[in-house]
C-alpha cells in the first residue's frame, strides 16, 4: 500500500521531523496537534485551558480540511493531557465539534508535552474515496 505525507503549516514552520499527516488509501493519520499560542514568546500555559483545547481542535480541523475532510470523518482520536483534572473541561469543549456521533477515543495522562502544551490530540480519519 502506498502512503503519502502531507505538508502543512505546523511542520513547515517548525521544521520538526514528522509529517503533519500521512495518507494511506482511504485513511489519514494525523500527527499530534497542540494549541500553540500565536504571540511570540507566549506558551500554552499563558492562555486559559479551554482556549488551548479550542486551538488544538481548530488545528486538527485545519489538517482535515486541507484533505477535504471534517470532524465527522474521524474514526479514532487519542488525547494526551498533562493533568487529568482537565478531563471534564476537555470533554465539554471536544464534544462541541461533533454532530453525528463521536469517533472511538482514548485519553491518556502524560508527564509533559512539547511546547509546554497541556493537551495534544492525534487522530485517524477515513475518506469515502482514496486520498490522493
**CATH code, domain with 46:** 3.30.1330.40
Number of domains observed in the structure of the chain: 1
Measured at the CA of 26, the angle between CA 24 and CA 31, to 5 degrees, comes to: 55
* CA 71 – CA 58 distance, rounded (Å): 10
Pairing of strands 3-6, 104-109: unpaired
Retrieve residue 36's grid coordinates: 500553540
Our measurement of the distance from residue 55's CA atom to the centroid of its chain's CA atoms, rounded to an integer in Å, reads: 9
Residue 6 lies in a domain: no
Mean pLDDT of successive 10-residue stretches along the chain, which has 132 residues: 52 69 95 75 76 95 96 98 98 96 97 93 92 76
How distant, in Å, are the alpha carbons of 65, 86, 113, 119 from that of 109? 28, 10, 10, 9
- Specify the pLDDT at position 128: 85
Q: Check residue 17 and give its pLDDT.
A: 85
Residue 61 inside a domain? The answer is yes
In a domain, 37, yes or no: yes
What is the biggest distance separating any 2 CA atoms in the chain, rounded to whole angstroms?
A: 43
Write out the residue range of the structural domain in which residue 112 sits: 32-126
DSSP 97: T
Q: Is residue 9 part of a domain?
A: no
Domain assignment of residue 66, yes or no:
yes
Amino acid at each position: 500500500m502506498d502512503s503519502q505525507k502531507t505538508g502543512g503549516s505546523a511542520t513547515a514552520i517548525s521544521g520538526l521531523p514528522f509529517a503533519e499527516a500521512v495518507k494511506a488509501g482511504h485513511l489519514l493519520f494525523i500527527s499530534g496537534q497542540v494549541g500553540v499560542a500565536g504571540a511570540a514568546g507566549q506558551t500554552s500555559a499563558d492562555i486559559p485551558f479551554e482556549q488551548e483545547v479550542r486551538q488544538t481542535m481548530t488545528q486538527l480541523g485545519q489538517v482535515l480540511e486541507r484533505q477535504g475532510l471534517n470532524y465527522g470523518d474521524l474514526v479514532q482520536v487519542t488525547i494526551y493531557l498533562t493533568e487529568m483534572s482537565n478531563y471534564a473541561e476537555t470533554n465539554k469543549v471536544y464534544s462541541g465539534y461533533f454532530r453525528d456521533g463521536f469517533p472511538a477515543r482514548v485519553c491518556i495522562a502524560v508527564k509533559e508535552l512539547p511546547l509546554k502544551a497541556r493537551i495534544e490530540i492525534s487522530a485517524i480519519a477515513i475518506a469515502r474515496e482514496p486520498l490522493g
